[in-house]
């Protein structure tokens, strides 16, 4: 069965899946935020200005008052809303992508679905529901779910969603060291069973996820990883740092007067893409993670989908903050707003060059259209006419170039095949 026939089989099976329409009720858990500002200023006074990367890491993941650690930041009452929260079609189509690539690889019996930064668990829930329905149609993939999450509060939301139990009944996750002799620590929670019968396990570090045939999903994950930012000056490149602004008693950006260690490692002597830029942002952590994913895909098979807003090396100064769905000064009230930077897909591709076949990035509109979102929309509308307005609104938000359709990009990594005609679903435009 060739790739086109495999895709048609998936779509035919998909049409038979019962519709599960729901209006996504977005909410936010309010909690008193500890002030990070004093902590940041104390550190700066002690050791000098800090890098943008260090600032991002502290503001987003501080155990007591980091932005992601103690509250629900998603939805209409949060600071941003993601594609899975807008429409169930998004997760359903990503599930179809996994099934298509699983069949193309020979349908191995055991499959790991690994999601990095799973939010509320909505995307994983939609994918598992689709898998369970396709299994009734004869698709025999035996999935296990592995979630990489550092926030205890988000893990509680995910457990409530995936296990189908009220949030107040979910206990605060306990960290278990399952291998005290391991250099990696292997910190994770116990395995539980979702409402679809799928085993699910949480991890604090992707390196501790068991290896094997896997599909990696990273949706709006890489944009939250810390970046080093560099600015071109008359004296050459200089790293952007965060310093105390004495007049306002707040924070400000400054330039390092001399080359920093990060500048020496990532900038000096390197051939830079789009060297005419005035700013360059580099995310070393993203490079390490994408390299690890590619190594696993190469060794054990499977694939990876990276979906995020980003560029291919032409942008520079993209570091910013969002609060209540509006742009916010990233140095004001640290911990109260989401910090983010556009993903440099050209950097990710460079980090996995020669290891796997990379496809994309393509726009979200192009990917979802190729995956059959139009057909799925018709099916849902025909079976749920009362939800027509909400379905069309969600569809428009996902693929309209003026909304998410153009800004968000998809990139796929699959094992090298040596055949240019072997293109994964969603990236095979122009292929007959």
Indicate the pTM of the whole model.
0.88
- Determine the pLDDT at residue 11: 56
CATH topology of domain 3-15+58-227+281-414: Rossmann fold (3.40.50)
According to DSSP, the residues that pair with 80 across neighbouring strands are 74
Q: How far apart are the C-alpha atoms of 397 and 80, rounded to whole Å? A: 14
Structure-token pair, residue 222: 């890489």
CA separation, residue 408 to residues 347, 351, 372, 378 (Å): 17, 21, 18, 23
Q: How far apart are the C-alpha atoms of 431 and 418, rounded to whole Å? A: 17
Burial of 247 (0-12, 13-18, 19+ CB in 10 A): exposed
Q: Among residues 126, 105, 135, 302, which one has the least CA distance to residue 209?
A: 302
Q: How far apart are the C-alpha atoms of 319 and 328, rounded to whole Å? A: 11
Decide if 244 contacts 44 (C-beta within 8 A).
Answer: yes
- For the chain, list residues with pLDDT below 50: 3, 21-34, 75-76, 78-79, 176-187, 431-432
Burial of 275 (0-12, 13-18, 19+ CB in 10 A): exposed
- Determine the pLDDT at residue 73: 55
Helices (H), 144-282: 152-163, 261-266
- Determine the pLDDT at residue 335: 87
- Determine the pLDDT at residue 254: 98
- Determine the pLDDT at residue 316: 85
Decide if 288 contacts 352 (C-beta within 8 A).
Answer: no
- Determine the pLDDT at residue 174: 59
- Determine the pLDDT at residue 5: 56
């Amino acid at each position: 069965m060739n790739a086109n026939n495999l895709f048609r089989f998936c779509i035919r099976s998909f049409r038979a899946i019962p519709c599960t329409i729901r209006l996504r009720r977005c909410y936010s858990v309010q909690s008193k935020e500890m002030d990070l500002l004093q902590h940041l200023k104390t550190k700066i006074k002690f050791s000098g200005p800090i890098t943008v990367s260090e600032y991002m890491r502290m503001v987003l993941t501080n155990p007591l008052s980091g932005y992601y650690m103690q509250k629900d930041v998603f939805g209409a009452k949060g600071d941003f809303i993601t594609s899975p929260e807008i429409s169930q079609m998004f997760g359903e189509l990503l599930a179809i992508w996994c099934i298509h690539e699983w069949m193309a690889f020979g349908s191995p019996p055991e499959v790991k679905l690994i999601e990095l930064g799973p939010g509320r668990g909505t995307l994983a829930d939609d994918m598992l529901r689709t898998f369970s329905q396709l299994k009734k149609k004869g698709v025999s993939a035996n999935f296990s779910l592995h979630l990489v999450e550092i926030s205890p509060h988000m893990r509680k939301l995910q457990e409530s969603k995936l296990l189908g139990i009220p949030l107040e009944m979910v206990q605060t996750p306990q960290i278990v060291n399952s291998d005290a002799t391991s250099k990696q620590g292997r910190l994770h929670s116990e395995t539980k069973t979702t409402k679809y019968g799928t085993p699910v396990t949480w991890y604090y570090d992707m390196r501790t996820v068991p290896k094997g045939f896997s599909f990696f999903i990273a949706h709006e994950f890489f944009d939250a990883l810390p970046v080093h930012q560099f600015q071109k000056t008359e004296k050459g490149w200089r790293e952007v740092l965060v310093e105390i602004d004495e007049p306002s008693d707040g924070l400000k950006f400054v330039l390092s007067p001399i080359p920093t260690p990060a500048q020496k490692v990532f900038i000096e002597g390197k051939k830079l893409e789009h060297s005419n830029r005035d700013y360059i942002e580099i995310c070393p952590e993203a490079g390490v993670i994408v390299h690890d994913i590619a190594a696993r895909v190469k060794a054990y098979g499977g694939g990876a989908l990276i979906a995020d807003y980003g560029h291919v090396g032409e942008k520079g100064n993209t570091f910013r903050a969002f609060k209540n769905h509006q742009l916010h000064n990233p140095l004001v009230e640290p911990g109260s707003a989401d910090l983010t930077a556009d993903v440099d897909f050209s950097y990710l591709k460079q980090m996995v060059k020669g290891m796997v076949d990379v496809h994309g990035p393509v726009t979200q509109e192009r990917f979802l259209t190729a995956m059959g979102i139009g057909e799925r929309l018709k099916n849902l509308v025909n079976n749920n006419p009362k939800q027509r307005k909400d379905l069309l609104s969600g569809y428009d938000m996902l693929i309209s170039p003026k909304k998410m359709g153009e800004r968000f990009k998809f990139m796929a990594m699959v094992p090298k095949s040596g055949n240019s005609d072997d293109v994964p679903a969603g990236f095979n435009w122009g292929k007959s």
